[in-house]
């Protein structure tokens, strides 16, 4: 029987690439979306069995409603990919409390809401996969991205602790930590920034959304059944 995946923030970038790849591999795909609904709907139309579900991931009631809608449409959610995220480049001392809270509410609390909503079903069925998207900056820290780095480090902590808690229920929880990936999130990088980042990467290039999607698909697969609580770097060797 085909499995169902819910991918948050799947209107573009890594989330959209993952939605495409899961769809091509026989999954029913719930495309989580906040902005960019037109692109999300085009993506859904291009896949065999996919539908768009809107929610601000930082809104508890909206996330619960989205999970209910996905379950009504597709039945059990077998795989949750917590991908929705926002970044901000700013000096720590210029960061407002509102900006700090928004980064954490989207990048961490949204992951808590979505995971908490899918887990009762997974625990009941004694199977499930949760894959959280962190960042190499959550492993090493980035200057002028303290809020983002701290939120992505929290994602790693959440992953490890939750893996221990739900492992006895047959559920794996893992993390993918991308390096610099060529998506809209990095639109602001100029040519010089890009070439410096390439030089710092042993594989001498930026990664693609499709390459991150392959790692996510692997962690959802039967081949990854004994892997839990891990952080899989997809970073061209930037962090070793
Ligand atoms: P992106 O900006 O193209 O995509 C982010 C997605 O999250 C979009 O679909 C957006 O609509 C969605 N989103 C944002 N706020 C949301 C909210 N409040 N509720 C629901 N959805 C929301 O960026 P991307 O590069 O595809 O990033 C995907 C994930 O990968 C993010 O968690 C990001 O932090 C992480 N990541 C990206 C890179 C990179 O270099 N691009 C590196 C490391 C980690």
Q: What is the pLDDT of residue 98?
A: 98
Of the pLDDT bands very low, low, confident and very high (cuts 50, 70, 90), residue 217 is very high
Q: Let me know if 27 is a catalytic residue.
A: no
Mutate to test the pocket of ligand 1, among 7, 9, 44, 198 (most ligand atoms within 8 A of CB): 9
**Distance from C-alpha of 225 to C-alpha of 191, rounded to nearest angstrom:** 41
Q: What is the pLDDT of residue 93?
A: 98
For residue 86, how far is its CA from the centre of ligand 1 (angstroms)? Answer: 5
pLDDT digits (tens, 9 = 90+) for 127-155: 999 999 999 999 999 999 999 999 999 99
Q: Which residues contact 126 (CB under 8 A, 6 or more apart)?
A: 169, 170
**Would you say the CB of residue 52 lies under 6 angstroms from ligand 1?**
no
Mutate to test the pocket of ligand 1, among 8, 10, 12, 14 (most ligand atoms within 8 A of CB): 14
**Would you say the CB of residue 180 lies under 6 angstroms from ligand 1?**
yes
For residue 155, how far is its CA from the centre of ligand 1 (angstroms)? Answer: 14
For residue 113, how far is its CA from the centre of ligand 1 (angstroms)? Answer: 17
Q: pTM for the complete prediction?
A: 0.99
Closest ligand 1 atom to residue 206 Cα is 40
Q: Which residues contact 198 (CB under 8 A, 6 or more apart)?
A: 204, 205, 206
By percentage, how much of the chain surpasses pLDDT 90?
Answer: 98
pLDDT digits (tens, 9 = 90+) for 221-233: 999 999 999 999 9
What tokens does 217 get? 């698909």
In this structure, the residue with its CA closest to atom 31 of ligand 1 is 85
Task: Give 48-57's long-range contacts (Cβ < 8 A, gap of 24+).
Answer: 48/23, 49/2, 49/23, 50/19, 50/23, 53/6, 57/8, 57/9, 57/32, 57/84, 57/106, 57/110, 57/111, 57/113, 57/114
Mutate to test the pocket of ligand 1, among 85, 114, 189 (most ligand atoms within 8 A of CB): 85
- Segment 93-101 mean pLDDT: 98
- Is residue 1 predicted with pLDDT exceeding 90? no
- Is residue 76 predicted with pLDDT exceeding 70? yes
pLDDT digits (tens, 9 = 90+) for 149-196: 999 999 999 999 999 999 999 999 999 999 999 999 998 899 999 999
- Is residue 68 predicted with pLDDT exceeding 70? yes
pLDDT digits (tens, 9 = 90+) for 51-63: 999 999 999 999 9
Q: Which residues contact 202 (CB under 8 A, 6 or more apart)?
A: 236, 237, 238, 240
State the angle between helix axes of 60-74 and 110-125 in degrees (0 to 180), rounded to the nearest 10: 40
Residue bearing tokens 């480049």 = 89
- Is residue 209 predicted with pLDDT exceeding 90? yes
For residue 13, how far is its CA from the centre of ligand 1 (angstroms)? Answer: 7
What tokens does 17 get? 């690439």
**Distance from C-alpha of 92 to C-alpha of 34, rounded to nearest angstrom:** 27
Q: Strand locations in 58-204, DSSP E? A: 79-82, 128-133, 171-178
What tokens does 85 get? 């995220």
Q: Give the residue among 1, 7, 2 at the shortest CA–CA distance from 216.
A: 7
Q: Which residues contact 123 (CB under 8 A, 6 or more apart)?
A: 166, 169, 171
**Distance from C-alpha of 132 to C-alpha of 152, rounded to nearest angstrom:** 10
Closest ligand 1 atom to residue 212 Cα is 30
* Average pLDDT, rounded, for the chain: 98
pLDDT digits (tens, 9 = 90+) for 7-46: 999 999 999 999 999 999 999 999 999 999 999 999 999 9
Please report, for the chain, how many H helices and E strands are present, in that order.
Answer: 9, 7
Q: What is the pLDDT of residue 126?
A: 98
């Amino acid at each position: 029987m085909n499995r169902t995946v819910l991918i948050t923030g799947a209107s573009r970038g890594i989330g959209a690439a993952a939605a495409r790849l899961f769809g091509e591999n026989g999954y029913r795909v719930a495309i989580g979306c906040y902005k960019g609904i037109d692109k999300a709907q085009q993506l859904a139309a291009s896949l065999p069995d996919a539908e768009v579900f809107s929610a601000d991931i930082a809104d508890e009631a909206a996330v619960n409603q989205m999970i209910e809608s996905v379950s009504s449409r597709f039945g059990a959610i077998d795989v949750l990919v917590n991908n929705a995220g926002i970044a901000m480049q700013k000096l720590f001392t210029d960061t407002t409390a509102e900006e700090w809270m928004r980064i954490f509410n989207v990048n961490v609390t949204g992951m808590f809401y979505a995971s908490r909503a899918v887990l009762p079903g997974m625990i009941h069925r004694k199977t499930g996969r949760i894959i959280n998207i962190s960042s190499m900056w959550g492993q090493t820290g980035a200057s002028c991205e303290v809020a983002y780095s701290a939120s992505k480090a929290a994602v790693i902590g959440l992953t490890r602790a939750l893996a221990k808690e739900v492992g006895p229920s047959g559920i794996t929880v893992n993390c993918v930590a991308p390096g610099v990936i060529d998506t809209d999130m990095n639109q602001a990088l100029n040519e010089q920034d890009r070439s410096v980042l390439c030089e710092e990467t042993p594989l001498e290039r930026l990664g693609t959304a499709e390459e991150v999607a392959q790692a996510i698909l692997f962690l959802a697969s039967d081949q990854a059944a004994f892997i839990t609580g891990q952080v899989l770097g997809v970073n061209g060797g930037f962090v070793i």
